[in-house]
Amino acid sequence: MNAPKPLYEGKAKLIYPTDDPLVLRAYFKDDATAFNAQKKGSITDKGEINCTVSSYLFRHLESDGIATHWIDQPSPREMRVRAVKIVPLEVVVRNIAAGSLCQQTGIPLGTPLEEPLVDFYFKDDALGDPLLTRDRILLMKVATEEQIDQLKTLSLMVNKHLSAFFKTCDITLVDFKLEYGLDSDGQMLLADEISPDTCRLWDTLETDPERRVMDKDRFRKDLGSVEEAYRRVLARVMAHC
């Protein structure tokens, strides 16, 4: 029997159809990219780690009443998910200044934000995922006013739950990126993944600005011990779920 063809291949995942048109299978790869795929590499066992961390976090959020696309994790690198039409926005929630926020505003790295900041980016590799304003989102008809408000409210709820959860793991949730999609009933579901690839996670027990980094910044900035950091996140999440 021929292996099914993926419906879609992204930078970190392959999406396959299943016998049920309402269900898809996401296969997590070890491939790692950064800076809009200008930097490419691979992180050993990343696929398994990110699939497992994402599954734990989606299940945790579901139990807190947040609707996600997650169904189950039939094997270490595979997640069954509800089929959704992805809203082409990356929703970033920030608790502490890091990354592009520091570069674009001059706010020093590590500055705690008085209130969580929600930023929207256009999910478009060719355009380099630009930062959008509310008016540009409406101009482009990427989402309605109501959907923008809904995405912001949901993302702040996710932030509240994940920040509290990671705190129990001695991890500070600095910032993270979420994606959403609409299911066949038009319900907005949290989609994609939540993992050390998509979150900035700092070890609360470490003060050294390089040693505390437990996420993809280790790969982006060549800090070394990338796989070990991802494994430590997995171990702490599994111990506290």
Q: Which residues bind ligand UDP (CB under 6 A)?
A: 90, 92, 98-101, 129, 175-177, 198-200, 216
Closest CB 159 distance from ligand UDP, rounded Å: 12
Burial class from Cβ neighbours inside 10 Å (0-12, 13-18, 19+) for residue 221 reads exposed
Closest CB 220 distance from ligand UDP, rounded Å: 7
Nearer to ligand UDP, 92 or 148 (CB): 92
Nearer to ligand UDP, 99 or 116 (CB): 99
CA distances from 188 to 86, 146, 150 (A): 9, 12, 9
User: How open is the CA angle 117-121-124, to the nearest 5 degrees?
Assistant: 165
* Contact indicator for 92, 78 with CB cutoff of 8 Å: no
Distance, CA of 153 to CA of 138 (rounded, Å): 18
DSSP class of 23:
E
Residue with tokens 């500070």: 172
Closest CB 99 distance from ligand UDP, rounded Å: 2
Nearer to ligand UDP, 48 or 197 (CB): 197
Closest CB 199 distance from ligand UDP, rounded Å: 5
Contacts of residue 184, Cβ cutoff 8 Å, sequence gap at least 6:
22, 83
Nearer to ligand UDP, 78 or 90 (CB): 90
Q: What kind and span of H or E run contains 229?
A: helix 226-240
Closest CB 209 distance from ligand UDP, rounded Å: 15
Nearer to ligand UDP, 84 or 213 (CB): 213
One-letter identity of residue 133? T
